């Protein structure tokens, strides 16, 4: 048995059902757990009050506490992992470093460089699958190719699933390396150049488990209620899945153990997550390009001022404005609203989907390259199994259908709260007396619509159709 190894955690910030740690503790006598605040990632973040950094920080504090309770502690480094990990491996003279596989292009390059450096020093780098149930081409067509359509992927995914795929990977925590005073400890967030900020979602493994337990009680109504942003009908687990404070196997175990439409539809959403991870792993070019290359020919004519109005929630379309304000204020946006806002940016404002994708990437607490890119390309009709280009959401009809009493809109656009429910979705049509009664002048207290939906819809259809004609 190997003497001493490191377990390098990245998107798996928990202690239970943890593949890399389970492997490491099965194969070595002593395992130390390390996290690197990666300067390549942190230096590129535009906001010093980035919520993701606070979320990670809190999850790590909890993890450190759990490790201390077992006589060990978390080693925390700040720098470039390509240097930091091999140099720590030298200092502690470990035989190997274990980690969970990551499918993002940057992470793949980083891990290859770490593996090279460790191997030059005679140490191993061992990667395990943890983020997904099936990675890359594990679920493939009969010809071994990647699926480009979700429904047959989901069918093949479900057919391939065996109980062992969902079995918990429990680490042997008796093998944790006793804490050593010389190990670098958790730095203060300010020392990393970031401020700690309040977040609507509890961070860490305990909070994730509490949320999953609580959601399990609501899972039965998920299928009917998940489309309504004013209801708390979805799990809110996306950030926990992103940072691995919950195990995806645990989520599937809970969903698949239950009967009914709610658990089935929820599991299908988790399979969408796997689908987009698979797309990123097999088609990394989607990071910069349309999945369907024909759509890269479009020169999107949208203007900067319209893009700014979208970003700031002043388009004159209440559901879009409410959602965009909510995103900026909280880092959260409901899935229905992500679809409506993305569609509005691309098909009403005619702005390149990549600009919207980047804006979401800046603010979403659950930002995940594969899911965000997949979601944007779906809405822009450029992606794998995307919305057909001729299907264009009408933001006002979406508003009437999914926020019927205007509850969500009133929370984020309080200036509209004085209107009757029917007028909230399209206050531009309210007459002068109605505006006075509502205490809101359209064009002054709340913006007039910046575009005409039917006119923009026609232009978008032409642009998208011209790309499909080749
Ligand atoms: C334009 C756009 C951008 C998006 N960006 C992201 C992102 O950066 N990070 C992210 O995690 N999700 C993203 N999504 C997917 C989806 O909106 C979120 O996963 C979901 O809203 C998170 O809420 P929840 O955890 O309550 O989800 P639930 O409804 O409880 O679903 C459970 C889990 O399934 C997965 N899931 C749910 N819906 C989808 C979906 N449509 N596509 C892929 N996976 C899904 C998520 O991991 C989610 O946590 C995006 C969707 C769109 C349309």
Among protein residues, the one with the nearest Cα to ligand 1's atom 19 is 238
Q: How confident is the model at residue 470 (pLDDT cuts 50, 70, 90)?
A: low
Q: How far is the CA of 335 from the centre of ligand 1 (A)?
A: 6
Q: What is the mean pLDDT of residues 132-142?
A: 97
For residue 242 and ligand 1, the question of a CB distance below 6 A is answered with yes
396 contacts 360 by C-beta, under 8 angstroms? no
Query: Which residue, judged by its Cα, is nearest atom 4 of ligand 1?
Result: 372
Query: 387-421: per-residue pLDDT in tens?
Result: 988 899 999 999 999 999 999 999 999 999 999 98
- Is residue 375 within 6 Å of ligand 1 at its C-beta? yes
Asked whether the beta carbons of 350 and 300 are under 8 A apart, the reply is yes
Q: Are 212 and 247 in contact (CB under 8 A)?
A: no
Ligand 1 centroid–CA 284 distance in Å is: 20
24 in helix, strand or coil? helix
Residues annotated as part of the active site: 269, 272, 300, 335, 353, 376
Question: Which of 359, 325, 367 is closest to 342 using CA atoms?
Answer: 359
Contacts with 297 (C-beta within 8 Å, 6 or more apart), sequence order: 467
- Give the distance (Å) from ligand 1 centre to CA of residue 122: 41
CATH architecture of 132-166+206-282: Alpha Horseshoe (1.25)
Instruction: Report residue 226's pLDDT band, with 50, 70 and 90 as the boundaries.
Output: very high
Q: Which residues, in sequence order, are CB contacts of 50 under 8 Å at separation 6+?
A: 194
Of all protein residues, the one whose alpha carbon is nearest to atom 33 of ligand 1 is 270
Ligand 1 atom 46 nearest Cα: 238
Cβ of 222 closer than 6 Å to ligand 1, yes or no, is no
Decide: 398 and 411 in contact? Cβ < 8 Å.
Answer: no
Q: Ligand 1 centre and the CA of 228: distance in Å? A: 14
The stretch 422-437 carries a mean pLDDT of 96
78's enclosing H/E stretch is strand 75-79
List phi, psi (to 5°) of 198: -70, 145
Cα 387 to averaged position of ligand 1 atoms, centre (Å) = 16
Query: How far, in Å, from the CA of 46 to the mean position of ligand 1?
Result: 23
Q: Is 386 in the pocket of ligand 1 (CB under 6 A)?
A: no
Residue 226 Cα: closest atom of ligand 1? 29
Determine the straight-line distance between the first and last CA of the chain, rounded to whole angstroms: 60
Cβ atoms < 10 Å from Cβ of 339: 20
pTM beyond cutoff 0.95: yes
172-200 mean pLDDT = 95
- Ligand 1 contact via 365 beta carbon (within 6 Å): no
Mean pLDDT of 183-205: 95
- Alpha-carbon distance 1 to 274, whole Å? 34
What does the domain layout of the chain look like in residue ranges?
2-129, 132-166+206-282, 293-469
Is the minimum distance from the CB of 324 to ligand 1 under 6 angstroms?
A: no
Per-residue pLDDT, averaged over 257-266, amounts to 97
Instruction: Check if the beta carbon of residue 219 is closer than 8 Å to that of residue 262.
Output: yes
Which tokens sit at 48? 């010093």
Ligand 1 midpoint to CA 371 (Å): 7
Closest CA to 190 of 78, 80, 84, 33: 78
Q: Which atom of ligand 1 is nearest to the CA of 241?
A: 47
Is 235 close to ligand 1, i.e. is its CB under 6 Å away?
yes
Q: Is the pLDDT of residue 445 over 70?
A: yes
CA dist., res. 308 & res. 271, Å (int): 34
The CB of 332 under 6 Å from ligand 1? The reply is no
Measuring from atom 22 of ligand 1, which residue has the nearest CA? 238
Cβ of 218 below 6 Å from ligand 1: no
CB 234 near ligand 1, within 6 Å: yes
The CB of 125 under 6 Å from ligand 1? The reply is no
* Best mutation site among 213, 232, 371, 382 for ligand 1 pocket (most ligand atoms within 8 Å of CB): 371
CB of 269 sitting under 6 A from ligand 1: yes
Q: Do 118 and 84 touch, CB atoms closer than 8 A? A: no
Round the average pLDDT of the chain to a whole number and report it: 97
48-100 pLDDT, tens digit per residue, is: 999 999 999 999 999 999 999 999 999 999 999 999 999 999 999 999 999 99
- With the most atoms of ligand 1 within 8 angstroms of its CB, the residue from 280, 366, 373, 393 to mutate is 366
> Environment class of residue 8 by beta-carbon count within 10 Å: exposed (0-12), middle (13-18) or buried (19+)?
buried
Q: For the chain, what is the total number of helices (H) and then of strands (E)?
A: 22, 5
pLDDT for the residue numbered 390: 87
Architecture of domain 2-129: 3-Layer(aba) Sandwich (3.40)
The highest-level CATH class for domain 293-469 is mainly alpha
pLDDT of amino acid 412: 98
Whether the pLDDT of residue 137 is over 80: the answer is yes
By most ligand atoms within 8 Å of CB, the mutation choice from 104, 335, 386 for ligand 1 is 335
**Residue 52 beta carbon below 6 angstroms from any ligand 1 atom:** no
pLDDT of residue 1: 79
Ligand 1 pocket mutation pick from 221, 225, 242, 375 by most atoms within 8 angstroms of CB: 375
Average pLDDT value for residue range 110-133: 98
């Amino acid at each position: 048995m190997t003497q001493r190894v490191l377990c390098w955690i990245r998107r798996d910030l928990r202690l239970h059902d943890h593949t890399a740690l389970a492997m490491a503790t099965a194969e070595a006598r002593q395992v130390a757990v390390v996290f690197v605040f990666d300067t390549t990632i942190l230096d590129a973040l535009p906001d010093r009050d980035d919520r993701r950094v606070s979320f990670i920080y809190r999850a790590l504090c909890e993890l450190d506490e759990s490790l201390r309770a077992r006589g060990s502690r978390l080693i925390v480094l700040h720098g470039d992992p390509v240097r930091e990990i091999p140099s720590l491996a030298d200092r502690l003279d470990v035989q190997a470093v274990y980690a969970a596989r990551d499918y993002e292009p940057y992470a793949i390059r980083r891990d290859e460089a770490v593996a090279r450096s460790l191997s030059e020093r005679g140490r191993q780098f061992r990667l395990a699958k943890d983020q997904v149930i099936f990675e890359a081409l594990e679920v493939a067509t009969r010809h071994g190719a990647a699926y480009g359509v979700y429904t047959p992927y989901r069918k093949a995914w479900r057919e391939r699933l065996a109980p062992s795929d969902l079995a918990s990977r429990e680490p042997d925590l008796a093998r944790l390396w006793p804490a050593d005073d010389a190990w670098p400890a958790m730095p203060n967030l300010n020392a990393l150049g970031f401020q700690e900020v309040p977040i609507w979602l509890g961070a860490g493994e305990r909070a994730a488990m509490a949320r999953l337990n609580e959601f399990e009680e609501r899972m039965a109504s998920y299928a009917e209620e998940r489309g309504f942003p004013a209801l708390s009908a979805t799990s809110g687990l996306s950030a926990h899945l992103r940072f691995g404070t919950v195990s995806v196997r645990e989520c599937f175990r809970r969903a698949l153990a239950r009967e009914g439409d709610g658990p089935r539809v929820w599991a299908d959403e988790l399979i969408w997550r796997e689908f987009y991870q698979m797309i990123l792993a097999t088609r990394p070019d989607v990071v910069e390009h349309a999945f369907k290359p024909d759509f890269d020919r479009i020169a999107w004519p949208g203007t900067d001022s319209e893009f700014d109005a979208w970003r700031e929630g002043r388009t004159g379309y209440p559901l879009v404005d409410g959602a965009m304000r909510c995103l900026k204020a909280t880092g959260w946006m409901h899935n229905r609203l992500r679809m409506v806002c993305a569609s509005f940016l691309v098909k009403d404002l005619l702005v390149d989907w990549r600009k919207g994708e980047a804006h979401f990437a800046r603010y979403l607490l659950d930002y995940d390259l594969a899911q965000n890119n997949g979601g944007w390309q779906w809405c822009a009709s450029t992606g794998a199994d995307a919305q057909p280009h001729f299907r264009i959401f009408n933001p006002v009809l979406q508003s009437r259908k999914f926020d019927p009493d205007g509850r969500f809109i009133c929370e984020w656009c309080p200036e509209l709260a004085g209107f009757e429910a029917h007028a909230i979705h399209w206050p531009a049509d309210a007459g002068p007396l109605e505006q006075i009664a509502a205490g809101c002048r359209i064009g002054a207290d709340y913006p007039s619509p910046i575009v005409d939906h039917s006119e923009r819809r026609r232009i978008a259809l032409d642009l998208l159709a011209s790309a499909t004609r080749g």
